[in-house]
Structure 1
Amino acid sequence: MATSFDEHERSMWAGKATAFERSVGALCAYPADHLLDAADVGDGRRVLDVGTGPGTVAARAIGRGAAVVAVDAEPSMLDAVRRRVPAAEVRHAILPNLPFSDECFDAAVSNFVINHVGDPAAAIAELRRVVRRGGRIAVTIWPDPQPPVQRLWGQVFDAAGAQRPTDMLALPEDKDFARTEDGLSGLLREARLKDVRCEVVSWIHRVDPEDWWSGPANGIGKAGFMMRSQSPSMIARIRREYDQTVADYRDVDGLLALPAAALLACGTV
């Protein structure tokens, strides 16, 4: 059953596929091949991509010869997958209740999704349910402490003096977990996965400054939720602080070079 946190998250992403692809799509795409390697995705494997977004991971899995079922809770994302990845079977589905029988996949992957669900432990348990014995599960999340690519927005909002909205929901303490290697590994072990391991994947995200600004400006993620609560004059102040802050990250070609990192955990059913 959906929690208030789940509903809050879905409202933030409703209709956001195009804005997502422009702003953070490439950022989220970087660990895709690491994720597929960790899940042992290759030719002939039947793979479930949960929270597929615009279908980046699904497309790469199909490129490896896998048969892919791609699911997401957001209809605009599913429309994007149907256009971009016609070889994928596309379904609407919401964790932790997937419309599949037990043990019907060889692997399940979930790229930056577990951090957006109201019951992360139940979500991992549901992935385990639909993967056959000996199959693999791999997930990514953003780490804590945050890398500069994400910490930047908090710095910008604080420098501008923006007030945090009071209606932004957080996970209840009994559902939350530490966004660390040990915390994410523990989540997988609680679901009785074997051979669990977790690693930090680091990279430099290169992006046009206007594309990076467009994410929060179009309501993407928590930064977008915060931006929507500001007055026009405050948004103008935030923009000035943004321009000053990102100057330190501009490369010679004008793109931003933002250090990024993700946690990647995997295990065997």
Structure 2
Amino acid sequence: MNGGEPDRWSAVAEEWSALWGSMPQPVWAAVAAAAAIGPGSRVLDIGCGAGEFVAYAAGLGAEVSGVDPAPGMVSRARARVPGASIEVAGFEELPRPERPFDVATAFNALQFAEDPVTALRRTADVVAAGGRIAIANWAEAERNDIEALEAAIARAAGEEPVPDDELRLPGGLERVMAAAGLADVLAGITDVEWTTPDEEHLVRGILLGEDDATIDELRSTLLEAAAPYRTAEGGYRLVNAFRWAVGTAGR
């Protein structure tokens, strides 16, 4: 499911969390290390989804908060991390904290902002001077097995695959951070795997949010495209990559 519509994400919050929520864990570890998230860190996760990274940061000893524009996601995040402050908001309406955060993170969320540079500047307003802002999202299409499936579905629908945006390309995150006034940018790329135990989980995950008729129509196309990634056990393993960058906020 593509796009940033809060109502659509609310409707699929439970299934998205089950199928996709833990996939970026290798990226969480890379970002947490680069941003020095640890005991006592005040961390805000923007676009927190169902709260998976909020819970991860809490496990590192951080004091955690989160925002997401989808109420359904916020509800699940609150249930996952009862001690965290989780609010319905996006980059455009970040709540002012009583004390600034040490770190703000956003995983696969900045591309949904109205303007990435403005979004990062707003984020810097809620981060302490010298604090860090960390962004991570999918890398360019050629690095992601999942793109072969997405391209096949697009062709079946008579559409062209969506081209890579600036944030997915090499140097894209660094450029947008520099434009927003962030300094000392550290960037990297981390491989992530998405695995499913069977065909049904694959179809549900890739066609998340589609109606039954669309799923029935696209099932065979999807399974044909996914055949090279089928495992001996009957599941699927897709190797993908996320780019990430961590910059320092100033005043």
Instruction: Give me the TM-score of the superposition, normalised by structure 1.
Output: 0.81
Aligned with 1:126 (options 110, 122, 125): 122
Spell out, residue by residue over 1:54-84, the C-alpha distance to the aligned partner (whole angstroms, 9 max, x if none): 1111111111111011111111111111111
Aligned with 1:261 (options 223, 228, 241): 241
Corresponding residue for residue 204 of structure 2: 214
Looking at structure 2, the residues matched to 64 and 11 of structure 1 have their Cα atoms a distance apart, in angstroms, of: 31
Counterpart contact for 1:205–1:258, Cα < 8 Å: yes
Looking at structure 2, the residues matched to 23 and 61 of structure 1 have their Cα atoms a distance apart, in angstroms, of: 20
Corresponding residue for residue 247 of structure 1: 227
Cα distance, 1:190–1:84 mapped onto 2, change above 3 Å: same
Alpha-carbon deviation of 1:28? 3.6
Q: Secondary structure of the equivalent of 1:87? A: coil
Corresponding residue for residue 144 of structure 2: 148
Whether 1:82 and 2:71 are equivalent positions in the alignment is: no
Spell out, residue by residue over 1:193-238, the C-alpha distance to the aligned partner (whole angstroms, 9 max, x if none): 111122111133222332221134441xxxx5xxx5xx93x64342
Alpha-carbon deviation of 1:89? 1.3
Alpha-carbon deviation of 1:158? 4.8
Counterpart contact for 1:102–1:130, Cα < 8 Å: no
Whether 1:196 and 2:185 are equivalent positions in the alignment is: yes
Spell out, residue by residue over 1:228-259, the C-alpha distance to the aligned partner (whole angstroms, 9 max, x if none): 5xx93x64342112222222111222221101
Cα distance, 1:81–1:14 mapped onto 2, change above 3 Å: closer
- Number of residue pairs matched by the alignment: 246
Looking at structure 1, the residues matched to 60 and 97 of structure 2 have their Cα atoms a distance apart, in angstroms, of: 24
Describe how 1:48-59 pairs up with structure 2 within 5 A: 48-59=44-55
Q: Secondary structure of the equivalent of 1:267? A: strand
Counterpart contact for 2:109–2:137, Cα < 8 Å: yes
Corresponding residue for residue 216 of structure 2: 236
Looking at structure 2, the residues matched to 258 and 74 of structure 1 have their Cα atoms a distance apart, in angstroms, of: 27
Counterpart contact for 1:144–1:180, Cα < 8 Å: yes
Alpha-carbon deviation of 1:32? 1.6
Looking at structure 1, the residues matched to 99 and 182 of structure 2 have their Cα atoms a distance apart, in angstroms, of: 14
Gaps of 5+ in 1: 1-5, 171-175
Aligned with 1:163 (options 158, 161, 176): 158
Spell out, residue by residue over 1:57-115, the C-alpha distance to the aligned partner (whole angstroms, 9 max, x if none): 11111111110111111111111111111121111212122111597111111111012
Looking at structure 2, the residues matched to 118 and 267 of structure 1 have their Cα atoms a distance apart, in angstroms, of: 20
Cα distance, 1:14–1:243 mapped onto 2, change above 3 Å: same
Report the aligned-residue RMSD: 2.7
Cα distance, 1:112–1:17 mapped onto 2, change above 3 Å: same
Corresponding residue for residue 43 of structure 1: 39
Moved beyond 6 Å, runs of 4+: none
Identity of aligned residues (%): 29
1:204 maps to a residue whose letter is E
Looking at structure 1, the residues matched to 50 and 111 of structure 2 have their Cα atoms a distance apart, in angstroms, of: 18
Spell out, residue by residue over 1:102-142, the C-alpha distance to the aligned partner (whole angstroms, 9 max, x if none): 97111111111012222111111111111111111111011
Q: Secondary structure of the equivalent of 1:13? A: helix
Q: Secondary structure of the equivalent of 1:62? A: helix
Q: Secondary structure of the equivalent of 1:96? A: helix
Whether 1:184 and 2:173 are equivalent positions in the alignment is: yes
Moved more, 39-48 or 9-18: 9-18
